[in-house]
């Protein structure tokens, strides 16, 4: 993918580059920050005095068809998508404004470039020229504005984009004057408060760009998009077939869309069924491999790719439910758990130890805090002091293998500390009914590129996904402040305090950051695991 | 005879009605409706959004009313959104909302809409039953002849070595449930690292990585010996033992009858005695057992279809139950009742032809 270098280089980008050279900043973090400010990837590498890595070591081959195991769920309006799989099916024809890359950078897709004002309250977006929809219409700035307006509409049930567009919304819909259409291919966003994540948010999977004529619920039934593929069939729970669209010229012709055909097979959730299908050659690439099956798929001759991520399992307390309304109880349970042991027993050591504050070292603004305490004896004393020595705690989890194993090892350590605890495992069909209100349970959280993003989504007072029922005035105020600091080093100072509050308030036991794995046959190329589960099959190929 | 048939059909309708009321009640419990809203509109939506989704999609009316809508004796729900567009149970079926029928339920031939598969229940059930029909057909082709052969061979000389060996085999196969035998077969025949396949490859007898496919999804496009053997054998083996035991019991009983002794005294050969005199009488009991196997097979296919990811009726039932797909589950219940009672009816009628001493009514 090419990128036009913007002439104006954001001042913070040069500063980051200096820090990166001085070793104060990881390269991955530098790339995320610099590209979020509108600096192109080659330019960002250039600031470090490096050449951008060559796109592919091997030359992709055109042609062939690929069969991939992936859940196929009933489709609905993209902005209400709640599973990455829903987006992945449609990625061949519904494209995004920007894309989050495996190295942590943002690359332009339907935007050619973007620039942030120095205080991050005004963004200028330049729409790529020469992009057409597969019905022949050219893509214009008005189409992009229409999509942003759709995202900002909070009146649609389950529209998760609305929460991400807060800075341009008002009363649950787009604020008047928030979008200014400068010309056919340029638009400007005027934010009510500084938001450094707004462009990054547009790479998230519900942000697929749809044609203005799209009103319905099903993007497969009416597949107008800008991408090179089109759906042939889509059967929930069974599979979907996608083929290259012969009646459409893709803007990025020659840089992808290698495969003639992609078949998704939904073989259920049991990895042993996937193994049987791989063994008989029915499936060539898997969506994701976890736990003990990683070794098994290695053994049958598949190649493993890994993505280091900020995805995690949040074993959180709900502070509305006694006894977890008591901070001492929450702190005591945290003290009883050694996160390193949980990582080893619950996730086969396939990740990094985390520190109970849901900010990951790969996030640019991560601040290093003193190591966590682990003191089971004190934990027991604290629980006894609260008069709960005979209380039986209950830890709830979904019946997914690694999530259940992780909670088992959390519960086992609490039990070892001499505290009574019971484990409850609920099937997936019923677990999600009450995920927000379980007193003590675990929830899988996928990664967001910036540290403030998950804090905004899950821990700010009163937000829809605040399953911890965490409400802290100081936390909210500081988070608001952090959201407006484009410079990650300055933001880190605020972030340090935010992380400390998370720990002091004992919001959650967050044992580890997951690495994600995917297996594919050796002849499949360009299909490495992506940290946010993207399946960009327009980049896949077979030899 | 006609009275008998009418009574049976009436019985069938009554059973179906009772069962669907039960299924409808269980799938429409408030918690279940909440699950449905969350699977449909987003796993992480709020309680207020759940309530508004249920209201907008016709789940707001009391349960008996909605059961009536499903049956087609109460007018289908209609919801008018603020911008004036009409949504409703019957409206989706007509091109123009104004022309939509008032009633659309089972009585009008409309089976409802599957929320899980996003398709009309009628077409989902038809496709899936077709797939299961193929599976059952092959199971019957494999199971019935081999079970009868084993039973007759074992039963014609009670207590012989052949009888003991075959009976032991039959007991073992009946005693192994599908979820055990299926997994054992996959490990033994369909793995490139353990079991038979690596051995055969080493000897140069096998070109493909595995002997049989441990996943029957490709059988949807075309059934081959390679992809269909394991699921068929898994179900067939379980039913086979039972039918073989019944046949053997019936055969041994027949072989002690007076007319067999008469035939023997008459000088007929053993072969002629078995084939001409014993077999027909010995097959009456197994015939009923075979007919009763049909409903039982519906049971077995649930496990086997899920295990081999073969999207048939059993697989659909699991998907529908897991996603609280109300109308699909109701249809599954009706189909199950019809299959069970219809096969019993056939077995009763067939009995009359096999045994002239029995009269219906």
Q: Taking residues A268-277, what's their average pLDDT? A: 87
Cβ neighbours of residue A428 under 8 Å, at least 6 residues apart?
A: A269, A398, A399, A400, B322
Q: Does B217 touch chain A (CB under 8 A)?
A: yes
The whole-chain average pLDDT of chain A stands at 88
| Whether the predicted pLDDT of A56 surpasses 50 | no
- The answer to whether residue B206 scores a pLDDT higher than 90 is no
Q: List CB contacts (< 8 A) between B213 and chain A.
A: 276, 280, 282
CB contact under 8 A, B42 and A281: no
Q: Taking CB atoms and an 8 Å cutoff, what residues of chain A touch B59?
A: none
pLDDT of residue A194: 82
CB neighbours (10 Å) of residue A192?
13
Cα A461 from Cα A89, distance rounded (Å):
34
Q: Which two tokens stand for residue A197?
A: 């994540």
Rounded to the nearest angstrom, the minimum Cα separation between B42 and chain A is 6
Measured between alpha carbons, how far is B314 from B297 in angstroms, rounded to an integer? 10
CB contacts of A302 in chain B (<8 Å) are none
Average pLDDT over residues B219-246: 88
A64 DSSP assignment: -
> Average pLDDT in the A85-108 region?
90
What are φ and ψ of residue B88, in 5° steps?
Answer: -175, 170
pLDDT at A246: 92
Is the predicted pLDDT of residue B352 greater than 80, yes or no?
A: no
Q: How far is B83 from chain A (nearest CA, A)?
A: 14
Q: How far is B344 from chain A (nearest CA, A)?
A: 33
* Contact flag A276-B41 (C-beta cutoff 8 Å): no
Peptide bond into A323 cis (omega under 30): yes
**Token code pair at residue B85:** 């567009």
**């690694």: which residue's tokens?**
A402
| Position A110 pLDDT exceeds 90 | yes
Domain ranges across chain A: 11-55+96-207, 312-514
> Mean pLDDT lowest for which of A157-171, A459-473, B204-218?
B204-218
Out of B42, B115, B308, closest to residue A158 by CB: B42
Lowest mean pLDDT among A487-491, B190-194, B294-298, B346-350: B294-298
The number of beta carbons lying within 10 Å of the beta carbon of residue A458 is 22
Lowest mean pLDDT across A77-86, A246-255, B138-147, B212-221? B212-221
Determine the average pLDDT of the residues in A360-370: 88
- Count CA atoms closer than 13 A to B45's CA, side-chain side: 28
Give A139→chain B minimum CA distance, Å. Answer: 28
pLDDT of residue B360: 61
- Mean pLDDT lowest for which of A229-238, A293-302, A328-337, B272-281? B272-281
Confidence class of residue A50 from pLDDT cuts 50, 70 and 90? Answer: low
- Window 272-311 of B, Cβ < 8 Å to A: 306-309, 311
Q: What integer is the mean pLDDT of B66-94?
A: 80
Instruction: Identify all chain B residues contacting A83, using CB atoms and an 8 Å cutoff.
Output: 43
pLDDT at A483: 84
Query: Is residue A487 pLDDT above 80, yes or no?
Result: no
Helix (H/G/I), strand (E/B), else coil: A210: coil
Tell me how far apart the alpha carbons of residues A270 and A82 are, in angstroms, rounded to a whole number.
Answer: 21
The CA distance from A211 to the nearest CA of chain B, in Å, is 21
In the block, tokens 């390269």 appear at A27
d(CA A80, CA A86): 10
Instruction: Please indicate whether, in this complex, the C-beta atoms of A267 and B191 are within 8 angstroms of each other.
Output: no
Any CB–CB contact under 8 A between B239 and chain A?
A: no
Of A157, A279, A433, the CB nearest to B192: A279
When pLDDT is averaged across residues A125-130 and rounded to a whole number, the result is 93
Q: Which residues of chain A lie closer than 8 angstroms to B218, CB-CB?
A: 282
Distance from CA of A275 to the nearest CA of B (A): 9
Q: Which two tokens stand for residue A315?
A: 């074993």
Q: Stretch B254-263: mean pLDDT, rounded?
A: 89
Sign of CA dihedral A60, A63, A67, A71: positive
Quick check: A149 pLDDT over 50?
A: yes
Of B45, B119, B322, which has the smallest distance from its Cβ to A158's Cβ? B45
Segment (H or E) for A305 = strand A303-317
Using CA atoms, how far apart are residues B245 and B254, in angstroms rounded to an integer?
A: 14
* The pair of three-digit structure tokens given for residue A359, joined into one six-digit string: 């900010």
Of residues B91 and B24, more confidently modeled: B24
CA nearest neighbour of A77 among A66, A86, A88: A86
**Tokens 């091997």 sit at which residue?**
A58
Read off the pLDDT of residues B282-293 as tens digits, 9 standing for 90 and up: 888 788 788 877
Residues of B in contact with A75 (CB under 8 A): 118
Give me the residue from A74, A268, A428 closest to B118, CB to CB: A74
Q: Which helix (H) or strand (E) holds B89?
A: none
Q: How far is B192 from chain A (nearest CA, A)?
A: 6
CATH of A312-514, picked from 1.25.40.10, 3.30.70.980, 3.40.50.300, 3.10.105.10, is: 3.10.105.10
CB neighbours of B148 closer than 8 A, spacing ≥ 6?
B243, B244, B247, B283, B286
Q: What is the mean pLDDT of residues A6-26?
A: 70
Contact A300/B193, CB-based, under 8 Å?
yes
| CB contact (8 A) between residue A74 and residue B117 | yes
Which residue from B318, B319, B131, B317 is spatially nearest to B232, judged by alpha carbons?
Answer: B131
pLDDT at A452 > cutoff 80:
yes
Contacts of A218 in chain B (CB under 8 A): 118
Q: For residue A216, is pLDDT > 90?
A: no
Taking the C-alpha atoms of residue B25 and residue B64, their distance in angstroms, rounded to an integer, is 9
Res. A51 pLDDT band, cuts 50 70 90? low
pLDDT greater at residue A381 or residue A430: A381
Judged by a CB distance cut-off of 8 A, whether residue B229 touches chain A is no
Domain B122-354 is in which class? Answer: mainly alpha
- CB contact B192 to A (< 8 Å): yes
Say whether pLDDT at A2 is over 50: no
Beta carbons of A277 and B192 less than 8 Å apart: no
Q: What is the pLDDT of residues A507-540, one digit of tens each?
A: 999 999 998 899 999 999 999 999 889 999 999 9
**How many angstroms separate the CA atoms of B277 and B263, rounded?**
8
Contacts of B119 in chain A (CB under 8 A): 236
Res A93 pLDDT > 50:
yes
Fold of A11-55+96-207: Dipeptide-binding Protein; domain 1 (3.90.76)
In order, the DSSP letters of A397-425 are EES-HHHHHHHHHHHHHHHHTT--EEEEE
Who among B31, B218, B220 is closest to A433 (CB)?
A: B31
- From the list A80, A280, A432, the residue facing B215 with the nearest CB is A280
Mean pLDDT of B300-325: 89
B56 CA to chain A: closest CA distance, Å? 11
DSSP symbols for B278-291: IHHHHTHHHHHHHH
Instruction: Give the A:B interface size as CB pairs under 8 Å.
Output: 112
Q: Which residues in chain B are classed under CATH 1.10.3720.10? A: 122-354
Reported ipTM = 0.80
Residue closest to B91 by CA, chosen among B113, B61, B118 = B113
pLDDT digits (tens, 9 = 90+) for A301-360: 899 998 888 889 999 999 998 889 999 999 999 999 999 999 999 888 888 899 999 999
Hey, are the CB atoms on A433 and B186 less than 8 Å from each other? no
Across B210-232, average pLDDT = 86
Q: DSSP strand E in B46-199: where? A: 78-80, 86-88, 113-114, 119-120
pLDDT of residue A87: 94
> How many angstroms separate the CA of residue B328 from the nearest CA in chain A?
14
Average pLDDT over every residue of A408-433? 89
Does residue A54 have a pLDDT over 60? no
The model's pTM is 0.79
B168 to chain A, any CB pair closer than 8 A? The answer is no
Given a contact cutoff of 8 angstroms between Cβ atoms, the answer to whether B282 and B254 are in contact is yes
Q: Which helix (H) or strand (E) holds A137?
A: none
Work out the pLDDT band at A5, boundaries 50, 70, 90.
Answer: very low
Q: How confident is the model at residue B91 (pLDDT cuts 50, 70, 90)?
A: confident
Minimum-distance CB partner of A432 among B43, B191, B307? B43
Rounded to 5 degrees, φ, ψ at A52 are -60, 140
Mean pLDDT for A460-472 is 89
- pLDDT surpasses 60 at B361: no
Using pLDDT thresholds of 50, 70 and 90, give the confidence band for residue A8: low
pLDDT, residue A302, reads 92
The predicted pLDDT at position A52 comes to 63
pLDDT value of residue B234: 92
For A14, phi then psi, to 5°, come to: -65, -40
A465·B44 Cβ contact <8 A: yes
């Amino acid at each position: 993918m090419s990128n036009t270098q913007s002439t104006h280089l954001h001042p913070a980008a040069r500063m980051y580059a200096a820090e990166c050279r001085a070793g104060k900043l990881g390269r991955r973090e530098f790339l995320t920050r610099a590209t979020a400010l509108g600096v192109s990837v080659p330019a960002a590498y250039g600031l470090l005095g490096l050449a951008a890595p060559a796109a592919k070591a091997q030359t992709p081959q055109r042609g062939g068809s690929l069969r991939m195991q992936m859940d196929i769920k009933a489709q609905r309006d993209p902005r209400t998508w709640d599973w990455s799989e829903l987006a992945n099916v449609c990625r061949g024809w519904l494209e995004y404004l920007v894309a989050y890359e495996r190295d942590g950078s943002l690359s332009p897709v339907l935007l050619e470039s973007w620039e942030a004002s120095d205080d991050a309250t005004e963004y200028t977006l330049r729409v790529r020229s020469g992009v057409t929809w597969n019905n022949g219409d050219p893509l214009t700035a008005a189409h992009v504005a229409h999509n942003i307006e759709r995202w900002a509409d909070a009146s649609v049930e389950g529209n998760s984009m609305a929460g991400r567009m807060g800075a341009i919304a008002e009363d649950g819909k787009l604020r008047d004057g928030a979008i200014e259409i400068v010309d056919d291919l340029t638009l400007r966003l005027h934010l009510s408060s500084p938001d450094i994540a707004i462009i990054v948010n547009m790479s998230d999977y519900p942000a697929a760009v749809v044609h203005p004529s799209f009103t319905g619920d099903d993007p497969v039934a009416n597949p107008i998009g800008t991408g090179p593929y089109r759906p042939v069939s889509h059967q929930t729970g069974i599979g979907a077939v996608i083929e290259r669209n012969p009646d459409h010229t893709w803007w990025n012709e020659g840089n992808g869309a290698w495969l003639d055909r992609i078949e998704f097979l939904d073989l259920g959730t049991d990895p042993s069924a996937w193994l049987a299908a791989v063994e008989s050659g029915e499936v060539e690439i898997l969506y994701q491999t976890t736990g003990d099956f990683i070794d098994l798929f290695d053994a049958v001759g598949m190649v493993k790719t890994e993505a280091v991520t900020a995805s995690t399992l949040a074993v959180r307390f709900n502070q509305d439910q006694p006894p977890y309304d008591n901070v001492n109880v929450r702190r005591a349970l945290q003290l009883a758990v050694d996160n390193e042991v949980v990582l080893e027993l619950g996730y086969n050591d396939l990740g990094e130890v985390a520190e109970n504050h849901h900010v990951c070292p790969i996030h640019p603004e991560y601040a290093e805090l003193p190591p966590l305490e682990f003191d089971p004896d004190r934990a027991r004393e604290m629980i006894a002091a609260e008069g709960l020595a005979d209380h039986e705690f209950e830890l709830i989890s979904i019946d997914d293998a690694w999530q259940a194993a992780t909670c088992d090892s959390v519960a086992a350590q609490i039990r070892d500390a001499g505290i009574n605890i019971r484990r409850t495992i609920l099937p997936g069909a019923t677990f999600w009914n009450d995920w927000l209100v379980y007193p003590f349970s675990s929830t899988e959280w996928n990664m967001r590129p910036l540290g403030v993003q998950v804090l905004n989504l899950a821990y700010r007072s009163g937000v829809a996904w605040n399953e911890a029922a965490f409400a802290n005035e100081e936390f909210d105020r500081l988070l608001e402040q952090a959201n407006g600091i484009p410079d990650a080093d300055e933001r880190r100072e605020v972030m340090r305090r935010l992380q400390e509050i998370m720990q002091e308030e004992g919001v959650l036991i967050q044992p580890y950051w997951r690495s994600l794995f995917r297996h594919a046959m050796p002849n499949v190329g360009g299909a490495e695991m992506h940290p946010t589960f993207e399946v960009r099959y327009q980049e896949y190929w077979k030899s | 005879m006609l009275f008998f048939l009418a009574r049976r059909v009436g019985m069938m309708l009554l059973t179906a009605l009772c069962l669907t009321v039960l299924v409808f009640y269980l799938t429409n419990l408030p918690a279940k409706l909440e699950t449905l809203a969350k699977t449909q509109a987003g796993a992480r939506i709020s309680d207020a959004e759940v309530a508004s989704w249920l209201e907008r999609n016709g789940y707001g009316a009391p349960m008996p009313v909605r059961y009536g809508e499903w049956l087609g004796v109460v007018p289908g729900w209609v919801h008018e959104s603020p911008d004036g567009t009409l949504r409703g149970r019957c409206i989706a079926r007509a091109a123009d909302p104004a022309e939509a029928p008032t009633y659309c339920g089972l009585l009008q031939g409309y089976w409802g809409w599957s929320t899980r598969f996003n398709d009309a229940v009628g077409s989902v059930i038809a496709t899936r039953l077709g797939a299961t029909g193929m599976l059952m057909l092959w199971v019957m082709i494999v199971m019935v002849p081999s079970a009868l052969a084993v039973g007759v061979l074992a039963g014609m000389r009670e207590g012989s070595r052949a009888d003991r060996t075959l009976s032991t085999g039959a007991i073992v196969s009946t005693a192994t449930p599908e979820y055990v035998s299926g997994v054992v077969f996959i490990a033994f025949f369909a793995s490139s690292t353990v079991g038979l396949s690596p051995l055969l490859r080493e000897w140069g007898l096998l070109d493909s990585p595995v002997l049989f496919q441990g996943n029957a999804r490709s059988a949807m496009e075309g059934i081959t010996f390679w992809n269909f053997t394991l699921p068929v054998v898994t179900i067939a083996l379980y039913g086979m033992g039972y039918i073989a035991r019944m046949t053997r019991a019936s055969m041994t009983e027949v072989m002690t009858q007076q007319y067999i002794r008469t035939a023997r005294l008459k000088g007929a050969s053993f072969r002629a005695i078995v084939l001409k005199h014993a077999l027909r009488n010995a097959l009456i009991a197994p015939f009923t057992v075979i007919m009763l196997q049909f409903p039982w097979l519906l049971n077995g296919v649930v496990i086997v279809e899920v295990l081999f990811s073969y999207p048939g009726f059993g697989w659909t039932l699991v998907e529908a139950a897991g996603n609280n797909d109300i109308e699909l589950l109701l249809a599954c219940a009706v189909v199950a009742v019809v299959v069970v009672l219809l096969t019993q009816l056939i077995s009763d009628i067939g009995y009359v032809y096999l045994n002239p001493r029995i009269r219906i009514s």
